[in-house]
Amino acid sequence: MTVVQPTALMSGRYQRAFTVAVVFLVAGWHLAGAGGQLLHNRSAYGSFAFQGAMWLVMALAITVGTVLVLRGAPGGRLAWAVAVTALAASTAAAAASPPGQMLAVNWAWGSAGWTGVLVLLRRRFAELAWFLAAEALATLGVQVRDGLHRTDLAGFLAVLAWSTGAQVAIAAGVRALDAAAGQAAAAARSEHAARERAAIAEVIRTARHARWLALQESAVPLVAELAAGTADPGDAQVRTRCAVQAARLRRLLAEGDEVPGSLVHELHASADVAERRGVAVEIETAGLLPQVPGPARRVITDAAIAILTAARSQARITLAAVAAEIAVSFVADTGAAVRLPAVGEGVTIQQQQDGGMLWAEARWNSR
- Would you say residue 213 has pLDDT above 60? yes
- Would you say residue 302 has pLDDT above 70? yes
3-state secondary structure of 305: helix
> Radius of gyration over alpha carbons of the chain, in Å?
39
- Would you say residue 251 has pLDDT above 50? yes
What are the residue boundaries of the structural domains of the chain, listed by start? 4-189, 232-365
Say which residue, 113 or 179, is predicted with more confidence. 113
- Would you say residue 222 has pLDDT above 80? no
Say which residue, 304 or 207, is predicted with more confidence. 304
- Would you say residue 2 has pLDDT above 50? no
- Would you say residue 250 has pLDDT above 80? no
* Element housing 332 (H / E): strand 325-332
Q: How confident is the model at residue 204 (pLDDT cuts 50, 70, 90)?
A: low
**Residue 280 to residues 246, 311, 313, 333, 355: CA-CA distances in angstroms?**
18, 9, 6, 11, 19
- HSE value, Cβ hemisphere, 13 Å, CA-based, for 202: 6
Question: What pLDDT score does 50 carry?
Answer: 92
The CATH number of 232-365 is: 3.30.565.10
What mean pLDDT is reported for the chain? 77
Question: What pLDDT score does 53 carry?
Answer: 92
Q: How confident is the model at residue 60 (pLDDT cuts 50, 70, 90)?
A: very high
Q: How confident is the model at residue 259 (pLDDT cuts 50, 70, 90)?
A: very low
The whole model's pTM is what? 0.47
CB 257 within 8 A of CB 227: no
Question: What pLDDT score does 252 carry?
Answer: 61
- Give strand pairing partners of 328: 319, 362
- Mean pLDDT value of segment 202-214: 62
Say which residue, 159 or 361, is predicted with more confidence. 361
Question: What pLDDT score does 57 carry?
Answer: 92
Question: What does 140-191 look like in DSSP terms, one character per residue?
Answer: HHHHHHH---HHHHHHHHHHHHHHHHHHHHHHHHHHHHHHHHHHHHHHHHHH
pLDDT > 90 in the chain, percent:
2
- Would you say residue 281 has pLDDT above 50? yes
Q: How confident is the model at residue 337 (pLDDT cuts 50, 70, 90)?
A: confident
Question: What pLDDT score does 261 carry?
Answer: 61
Q: How confident is the model at residue 3 (pLDDT cuts 50, 70, 90)?
A: very low
- Mean pLDDT value of segment 77-95: 87
Say which residue, 95 or 213, is predicted with more confidence. 95
Question: What pLDDT score does 56 carry?
Answer: 93
Q: How confident is the model at residue 241 (pLDDT cuts 50, 70, 90)?
A: low
Q: How confident is the model at residue 246 (pLDDT cuts 50, 70, 90)?
A: low
Question: What pLDDT score does 247 carry?
Answer: 62
Q: Which of 35-44, 88-97, 218-227, 341-350 has the lowest mean pLDDT?
A: 218-227
Q: How confident is the model at residue 205 (pLDDT cuts 50, 70, 90)?
A: low
Question: What pLDDT score does 291 carry?
Answer: 79
Angle at 202 between CA 220 and CA 8, to 5 degrees: 160
How far is C-alpha 45 from the chain's CA centre? 57
Question: What pLDDT score does 4 carry?
Answer: 43
- Would you say residue 1 has pLDDT above 50? no
